[in-house]
Chain A
Amino acid sequence: DADVTQTPRNRITKTGKRIMLECSQTKGHDRMYWYRQDPGLGLQLIYYSFDVKDINKGEISDGYSVSRQAQAKFSLSLESAIPNQTALYFCATSDLFSRQGSTFGSGTRLTVV
């Protein structure tokens, strides 16, 4: 399912480095989300965007920033990566009112050493 594409799929980076995770979608959805998944903690929302000019902080936005470059593109940046940002990151999209739930990308496994 290539509706929501995340790049890279895997990334190892060093502490202090800046890294960008990218997400693009072909579903035509207005809404895009970035989640972080850690074992036992479920899916924690980092940032979300309801349209190109709208950016909202989620539960765990500290240390992260986002950019909604177009309706179809939403990128997540770690300005200065630290080891406790090692996690699995998912991008997701939904239409207005999430009438059909959210569609998730394949995920990016990020390791900060």
Chain B
Amino acid sequence: GENVEQHPSTLSVQEGDSAVIKCTYSDSASNYFPWYKQELGKRPQLIIDIRSNVGEKKDQRIAVTLNKTAKHFSLHITETQPEDSAVYFCAASGNRGSTLGRLYFGRGTQLTVWP
């Protein structure tokens, strides 16, 4: 099955700086890559996603890039704010047989934004 690796596991940045979280995946057939934000004590919530036919997608201060050749995708947060502090998860969606549509998650990145 699919294997998703996420780095770093923790990330601390100063308010206003940028943050980048990187993920790699193993199955070249995977075609959907969402990112989730989980604030302390709350449920994971989808913040942005990208499909394999697109190289980059932006939504205000967040963007995701995808390199299908390298099987690598990244989350970029610009002008970070303290409320961006959370755990971020990347995921890849299976595209074969019984794994079709199933999400495989990375282990998460704890982002802390210092004022």
A residues at B contact (CB < 8 Å) = 31, 33, 40-43, 45, 48, 50, 56, 90, 94, 96-107
B61 interfacial by beta-carbon distance below 8 Å: no
In the bound complex, residues from chain A placing their C-beta under 8 Å from that of B102 are: 33, 45, 48, 98
Known contacts A42-B89, A43-B89, A90-B44; is-contact A101 B105 (Cβ 8 Å):
no
Could you tell me the distance between the alpha carbons of A31 and B44 in the complex, rounded to whole angstroms? Answer: 17
- B44 CB, min distance to chain A CBs, angstroms: 5
Among candidates B36, B43, B98, B105, residue contacting A106 with C-beta atoms closer than 8 Å: B43
- B90 CB, min distance to chain A CBs, angstroms: 10
Whether the pair A40, B43 counts as a contact (CB closer than 8 A) is no
Whether the pair B93, A42 counts as a contact (CB closer than 8 A) is no
In the bound complex, residues from chain B placing their C-beta under 8 Å from that of A100 are: 46, 49
- Give the contacts of B57-101 with A (CB-CB under 8 A): 89, 93, 98, 100-101
Most chain B CB within 10 A, of A94, A101, A102, is at A101
Q: How many chain B residues have a CB neighbour from A under 8 Å?
A: 22
Could you tell me the distance between the alpha carbons of A50 and B98 in the complex, rounded to whole angstroms? Answer: 9
Whether the pair A102, B43 counts as a contact (CB closer than 8 A) is no
Could you tell me the distance between the alpha carbons of A42 and B23 in the complex, rounded to whole angstroms? Answer: 14
30 residue pairs from A and B, CB less than 8 Å apart: A33-B103, A40-B9, A40-B108, A42-B105, A42-B107, A43-B44, A43-B105, A48-B102, A94-B103, A97-B32, A97-B93, A97-B101, A98-B32, A98-B34, A98-B93, A98-B101, A98-B102, A98-B103, A100-B49, A101-B34, A101-B36, A101-B46, A102-B34, A102-B103, A103-B46, A104-B44, A104-B45, A105-B43, A106-B42, A107-B43
